Amino acid sequence: MANKLLVAPSPHVQTSQSTARIMRDVVIALVPALIISTVFFGWSVLCVTALSVASCVVFEYLIQRFLVGGKSTVGNWSAVVTGVLLAFNLPASIPWWIVVIGAFVAIAIAKMTFGGLGKNPFNPALVGRVFLLIAYPVQMTSFPAPVNEAFDAWSGATPLAAVKHGAAAGMFDVQDLLLGNMPGSLGEVAALALLVGFAYLLWRRVITWHIPVTILATMAVFAFVVALSRGAGEAALWQFPLFHILAGGAMLGAIFMATDYSTSPMTVRGGVIFAVGIGLITMCIRLWGAYPEGMSFAILIMNSTVPLINKYVKPKRFGVK
């Protein structure tokens, strides 16, 4: 017989997806928000993002090469995703060296220490962001304002900070919130662009809708109940929930951070529990905590519950009542 035949156990077909393709899709899904952000905050957005991505990739490569050993994993694009997401969580005006430190914390401490992609318990980009928020609070909360009269009175405070200090949620134009015409971290402001990215991820089957939709729904319901208990008027009853799911890092966190594979549960039911937790903690911090925004903390706190959720929340087994 001329041909040499290969032998392997079934199945004999493999998916057309790959780790690299999935990660690349996440990056593609983030591009619309990056473009909108550049429009509002200028070229510094692209500089911060490029620096963050480059730092993450270089740190991962160096650590793999000199400390961990084994085949280089930078080709799987996951460091690029971490880089973009970290940048999206920073103000556009951030000094360059803080970006590099954030990238180091994200990749070296939060990711590679645990064995790299798939093994990190906490979202690397969020660990980087929270570290920077605590270490460099001034630089991390000085947001450049986009050109928009509505924000003059708040001198660069984010809408969430403004509301925290007594502004009414209804004073913000829904259109501005959707488009991202407000101060904030560079990638979180454009809710509409993030939703476009969400649609792309769903279409490419990178993520399912359960976690993002549950987080946003939990937040909306929570805000609605709070508004109701405060005896808010009819307009505020829908403005308040809408404001909370559009402002701050809600969209970015729900769509891109909470859905991170290795730091979210393995089952749909587990994911829903995880997402409800994120929604509740976020709203508690936003309404009653010291920080105006609680998304990052909420996701990290719920990240820590993932092993427990995976252990106790099992898929619906076939044939078991």
Q: Which of 113, 261, 289, 305 binds other proteins (CB under 8 A)?
A: 261
The length of the chain, given as a count of residues: 321
Q: Does 55 interact with other proteins (rule: CB under 8 A)?
A: no
Q: Which of residues 288-317 bind other proteins (CB under 8 A)?
A: 314-317
Residue 11: cis peptide before it, omega within 30 degrees of 0: yes
Amino acid at 41: F
Give the distance from CA 244 to its chain's centroid.
16
Which range binds other proteins by CB under 8 A, 35-43, 142-150, 154-162, 262-270? 262-270
Q: Which of 1, 134, 138, 147 binds other proteins (CB under 8 A)?
A: 1
Task: Write down the least CB distance from residue 227 to other proteins, Å.
Answer: 35
Task: Write down the least CB distance from residue 64 to other proteins, Å.
Answer: 12
- With 0-12 CB in 10 A as exposed, 13-18 as middle and 19+ as buried, what is 27? middle
Q: Residue 92 has what DSSP assignment?
A: T
Q: Does 69 interact with other proteins (rule: CB under 8 A)?
A: no
Q: Does 137 interact with other proteins (rule: CB under 8 A)?
A: no
Paired tokens of 251? 């969209």
Q: Does 230 interact with other proteins (rule: CB under 8 A)?
A: no
Taking the chain, what is the end-to-end CA distance rounded to the nearest angstrom?
Answer: 53
Distances (CA, A) of 115 to 20, 109, 315: 18, 10, 27
Which range binds other proteins by CB under 8 A, 8-16, 36-44, 126-134, 156-164? 8-16
Q: Which of 262, 282, 296, 303 binds other proteins (CB under 8 A)?
A: 262
Q: Which of 38, 93, 139, 267 binds other proteins (CB under 8 A)?
A: 267
Q: Which of residues 91-130 bind other proteins (CB under 8 A)?
A: 116-119
Q: What would the 3-class secondary structure string for 35-88 be?
A: HHHHHHHCCHHHHHHHHHHHHHHHHHHHHHHHHHCCCCCHHHCHHHHHHHHHHH
Q: Does 43 interact with other proteins (rule: CB under 8 A)?
A: no
Task: Write down the least CB distance from residue 106 to other proteins, Å.
Answer: 17
Which range binds other proteins by CB under 8 A, 3-11, 80-88, 184-192, 223-231? 3-11
Which range binds other proteins by CB under 8 A, 124-132, 151-159, 242-250, 258-266? 258-266
Size of the site for other proteins (CB under 8 A): 39
Q: Residue 225 has what DSSP assignment?
A: H
Give the distance from CA 62 to its chain's centroid.
25
Q: Is 32 helix (H, G, I), strand (E, B) or coil?
A: helix
Which range binds other proteins by CB under 8 A, 7-15, 88-96, 130-138, 272-280? 7-15
Q: Residue 294 has what DSSP assignment?
A: -
Could you give the angle at the alpha carbon of 115 between the alpha carbons of 27 and 251, nearest 5°? 35
Task: Write down the least CB distance from residue 83 to other proteins, Å.
Answer: 17
**Site residues (CB under 8 A) for other proteins?**
1, 3, 5-15, 17-19, 21-22, 73, 76, 78, 116-119, 208, 261-262, 265-268, 314-320
